[in-house]
Structure 1
Amino acid sequence: MTAVAKRIIDDAVVRKDAKAGDRLLDRAFALAFKGLVYAQIWEDPVIDMEGLQIGPGMRVMCIASGSCNALSYLTADPAEVVAVDLNRAHVALGKLKIAAIRNLPNYERFRRFFAEADHRENAAVYRESIAPHLDPQSRRYWEGRDLTGRRRISHFTRGIYRQGLLGGFIGLAHLAARFYRVDLRKVLAANTLEEQRAIFETELAPVFDRAFVRWLTDHPASLFGLGIPPAQYKALAGDERMAVVLRRRLEKLACDFSVRDNYFAWQAFGRSYDRSPAAPLPPYLERRNWPLLRERISRIDIRNANMIDYLAQSDAASHDRYVLLDAQDWMDDAQLDALWAQITRTARPGARVLFRTAAEPSLLPGRLSTDLLSRWTYRMGQSKQLTARDRSSIYGGVHLYEFAG
């Protein structure tokens, strides 16, 4: 990792005004965050597109993460999607997907590479059809070696969704569940929501009452694998023990949505996507959207950058939609003001901003400057509806703001 990339991540994660112990935790998280974190993004793109109402001619800025959502937004026909990310592994993953969409011969090959992501022939597919079209930096990343000494591109022959910080965390969760004689995959075999709830109540929920689980999750470092930095841990826990919060979020994931229509549940409880013809998949991986992605792939631009820096270099009134994921949970008040000053400056009339928070309420009131906040209208009712229907289930709130001018 270059010194510039290290600085970008440290500046975003390490709280300058925190106590020494908290800064040490921040630096530990920053170190963990410098590799691949999310092979799949954990925000529901269907909810994003519904709230944002992306349409023709619009310019969208988002955080890339695994690029699943950035690519999925292309199905709504925007003029451009600019996806920025602090993490070079995420940027390399997004550019790998772009090169694959442009150069793989058909949907079947694309699906085997990214939806199943564990076929031995994927190594040859990469070498022959994708690698020649990658930029040098992304190619160096995928052909470089991970901590085990394997080339990173081999993730796609062994299951990319079992790799990275989140993939490892989910793997450890499955291992811990087996220790307590719980098979998480049972949820995926349920035929009704009633069966899903029965499995959760009888097998999954009791695990969170175990003394060891409560003790372990009381430590912020235990959730680094979820991509949750220490600052966000505090917002997520609130006044409750973390085990209680995690149980409630897992209950929503396991019980509120049919596993036949929720690919997040498959990743959490099965560590992969369902492979049946009718499998739930992110929009960019759906067969029906393959022609649209091929046609519109030139409209996406993925950059290794801080979103405040990117917006500061953009023209005034140049963007229509902004997707901030949960990044604001990491920010202090000065950073929030800097971000929203640039969003407000670059927003076109009617622009919309969507973001998520670990806790339920929007974090802007009382923290963002009154002058900036007064220029945006909070769509409270719609935000509550979007939160309830977000299939990823791990966030307390989905929040939608509209530019009032």
Structure 2
Amino acid sequence: MKEAPTEAASRADFSKVRYAQVWEDADILTEALNIGPDSVCLSIASAGDNALALLTRNPKRVYAIDLNPAQLHCLALRVAAFRSLSHQELLELIGTRPSQQRLSLYERCRENLQKESQEYWDALPETVASGIGTQGKFERYFELFRKRVVPLVHSQKTVDALFVPRIQIQRLEFYESRWNNWRWRALFKIFFSRFTMGRLGRDPAFFKYVEGSVADRILERVVYALTELNPEDNPYLQWILKGRFESALPLYLRPEHFETIRSNLDRLEWQLASVEDFTRRAGEPFLDACNLSDIFEYMSETNTEKLLRELYRVSRPGARLAYWNMLAPRSRPQSMAAELTPLNELAESLFKKDKAFFYSKFIVEEVASP
């Protein structure tokens, strides 16, 4: 019997790479999930960055799932790269270090790919040559912002100055005196409007449950990232404004984690499935940690509760669920107060450090004992 499509699958196009990178901070994610050596984890795959980041905590198993086969090919190539390349070569393949040898690096990875992934990447030599972390729809959206919008607002000298080390009060002064001009505010509101983001960045379906001004809410978080947080330590901000990671790397790409991830790759399994399909096939509770990305962003409150109940059914007592709200507020409903306990203090403290600044809230919930 064919599975009924999920709400997400029925509303959004999942046929191409939407995210060539994962734009969610794995530092706060791994801390929130409290993963141990016996933990069995579920992770939204996306491009694979955070599923790989979970391996730094030495879990027993990580199941990475996605509705989009192209996203799983992104994960598969990253896994092959960890098996086949050095750390420096991995950074070159991703696209954050200069390289003229990405196609030859891919050839070395190719033997560690299954046939479907080989065929997928064989057909995209230009994408590989540009860097596999550069060519998702979301990354092209930021590239357009970086190349077409930012130069209308600031010189390259001013952009570079943003990343000079400063204390918090100096960052605020820099923002107000040099960055926050009328062109910045006006062009930001156009480029990050509901219409423009839906057309060029995210699928319009992601805004179905969003109320109010999208641009205003994102700008508030951007100001926080530029002033309260340190741009020098923020890989996501560096990629958006410079097209590469300079002084900071996402967790899974840091050199100190390279060998740990490589040694744990056999603990990672990926599947083409929705969370609903994955939980439906499960029997007794077996999960200890769930990275749910921002999947509830494009679900109704009714379907959010249904999925949370399914996750509760297949999770062991003490298991943790972590996910982000971007624009649509979602969390466990009051009707599930006996099943899921919000860890609000932990979530709020972690959210204050969240370098992927466009989200409005970070949610951490714990499965209660029966």
Q: Report the TM-score when normalising by structure 1.
A: 0.82
Contact kept in structure 1, 2:95 and 2:133, CA below 8 Å: no
In 1, distance between residues paired with 2:185 and 2:112?
A: 51
**CA distance 1:224–1:347, change in 2 (3 Å):** farther
Q: Which residue in the other structure is 2:223 paired with?
A: 251
In 2, distance between residues paired with 1:54 and 1:41?
A: 20
In 2, distance between residues paired with 1:111 and 1:338?
A: 40
Contact kept in structure 1, 2:209 and 2:300, CA below 8 Å: no
**CA distance 1:215–1:234, change in 2 (3 Å):** farther
Amino acid at match of 2:260: L
Matches within 5 A, 1:97-246: 97-104=78-85, 106-114=86-94, 116=96, 118-127=98-107, 129-144=108-123, 152-174=124-146, 175-183=148-156, 185-193=159-167, 194-201=169-176, 202-204=178-180, 206-210=182-186, 214=189, 217-227=192-202, 229-232=204-207, 234-235=209-210, 238-239=211-212, 241-246=213-218
Confirm or deny that 1:54 pairs with 2:26: no
Amino acid at match of 1:310: F
Per the TM alignment, residue 53 of structure 1 is displaced from its structure 2 partner at its CA by: 0.8
Contact kept in structure 2, 1:323 and 1:353, CA below 8 Å: yes
Contact kept in structure 2, 1:117 and 1:160, CA below 8 Å: no
Contact kept in structure 2, 1:56 and 1:78, CA below 8 Å: yes
Per the TM alignment, residue 261 of structure 1 is displaced from its structure 2 partner at its CA by: 1.7
Q: Which residue in the other structure is 2:21 paired with?
A: 40
Contact kept in structure 1, 2:332 and 2:340, CA below 8 Å: no
Contact kept in structure 2, 1:123 and 1:153, CA below 8 Å: yes
Amino acid at match of 2:344: M
In 2, distance between residues paired with 1:158 and 1:43?
A: 22
| Secondary structure of 1:398 counterpart | strand
**CA distance 1:187–1:118, change in 2 (3 Å):** same
In 1, distance between residues paired with 2:181 and 2:280?
A: 46
Provide, for residues 251-307 of structure 1, a one-character-per-residue CA deviation record: whole Å limited to 9, x for no partner.
122222223321111112111111xxxx32122211111221121110011222111
Amino acid at match of 2:8: A
**CA distance 1:256–1:116, change in 2 (3 Å):** same
Confirm or deny that 1:272 pairs with 2:272: no
Matches within 5 A, 1:332-351: 332-351=300-319
Percent identical among aligned pairs is 22
Per the TM alignment, residue 328 of structure 1 is displaced from its structure 2 partner at its CA by: 0.5
Stretches of structure 2 lacking an aligned partner (at least 5 in a row): none
Amino acid at match of 1:48: L
Contact kept in structure 1, 2:87 and 2:255, CA below 8 Å: yes
Stretches of structure 1 lacking an aligned partner (at least 5 in a row): 15-25, 145-151
Q: Which residue in the other structure is 1:379 paired with?
A: 343
Per the TM alignment, residue 388 of structure 1 is displaced from its structure 2 partner at its CA by: 1.3
Per the TM alignment, residue 181 of structure 1 is displaced from its structure 2 partner at its CA by: 4.5
Per the TM alignment, residue 90 of structure 1 is displaced from its structure 2 partner at its CA by: 1.1
Q: Which residue in the other structure is 1:388 paired with?
A: 352
In 1, distance between residues paired with 2:230 and 2:267?
A: 33
Contact kept in structure 1, 2:279 and 2:314, CA below 8 Å: yes
Contact kept in structure 2, 1:232 and 1:358, CA below 8 Å: no
Amino acid at match of 1:54: I
**CA distance 1:191–1:223, change in 2 (3 Å):** farther
The counterpart of 2:233, out of the listed 261, 272, 277, is 261
Q: Which residue in the other structure is 1:78 paired with?
A: 59
Provide, for residues 338-375 of structure 1, a one-character-per-residue CA deviation record: whole Å limited to 9, x for no partner.
31222111111211101111248544336xxx1x4421
The counterpart of 1:402, out of the listed 336, 343, 366, is 366
Contact kept in structure 1, 2:209 and 2:328, CA below 8 Å: no
Count of residue pairs the alignment pairs up:
364
Provide, for residues 122-164 of structure 1, a one-character-per-residue CA deviation record: whole Å limited to 9, x for no partner.
101211x1112211111111112xxxxxxx2432322444322
In 2, distance between residues paired with 1:186 and 1:107?
A: 26
**CA distance 1:321–1:136, change in 2 (3 Å):** same
The CA RMSD measured in Å over matched residues stands at 2.6
Contact kept in structure 2, 1:13 and 1:330, CA below 8 Å: no
